[in-house]
Amino acid sequence: MEIQMIPLIIPVPPAPVLEQAVGYRDERHAHFLALWWEPCGDEAMVSDGYVTFTGHWPGYLAYVQHRAIYLQLAAYNLGSSEEPAEHRLIIDLQKRLAYIVPWKKAESILAAQWQVAIAQEKPVILSSEDMEKLIEGFMQQSPPVPTMEGLMRQMEEDRESVLTLQRWLDEQMK
């Protein structure tokens, strides 16, 4: 018996409110996004199946702990500081719906959304000279060193995205 996605009746903000609040920038146009808490590092996690990373925890907590959301999620283990998650909160980014899914099934769902794109990609064949040029180009590139102004600007943007999420959720309660 296969475990299905459990639909939740919770508000999912319009794009990109939730995504920005948790630190996800969707350049690949994912269909599904997973959220959970990881005890190793005590971090909010975000995954679209192509990339998994530690997200912006204030945005994650603002969403899952909001009174419009929390009661629907309380019965499921999305992870904590003490124990790993047994489930993932899956957000359908196109239909703006939410689901609870056991973590293994969630990994399959996330990976499957990229299978068609990967199957359609053609292999890239490089000559050894082209490969050397490519490696040399990577070696010459160095990531920009963040400035204090840039860090402060990013912190303010993150804070504002969480406030936007909280305001939107509060409006849903009226």
Query: Which pLDDT tens digit goes with each residue over 100-135?
Result: 999 999 999 999 998 866 666 677 788 899 888 888
Can you give the pTM of this predicted structure?
Answer: 0.84
Higher-confidence residue: 131 or 168? 168
Averaged confidence pLDDT in the chain: 92
Q: At what angle do helices 57-64 and 148-172 cross, to 10 degrees?
A: 10
Report the share of the chain in percent with pLDDT over 90.
75
pLDDT digit string (tens) for 16-36? 999 999 999 988 889 999 999
Q: What was the pLDDT predicted at 120?
A: 65
Q: What is the pLDDT of residue 49?
A: 94
Q: Which stretch of DSSP H or E encloses residue 106?
A: helix 103-112
Between CA 20 and CA 98 the distance in angstroms is 17
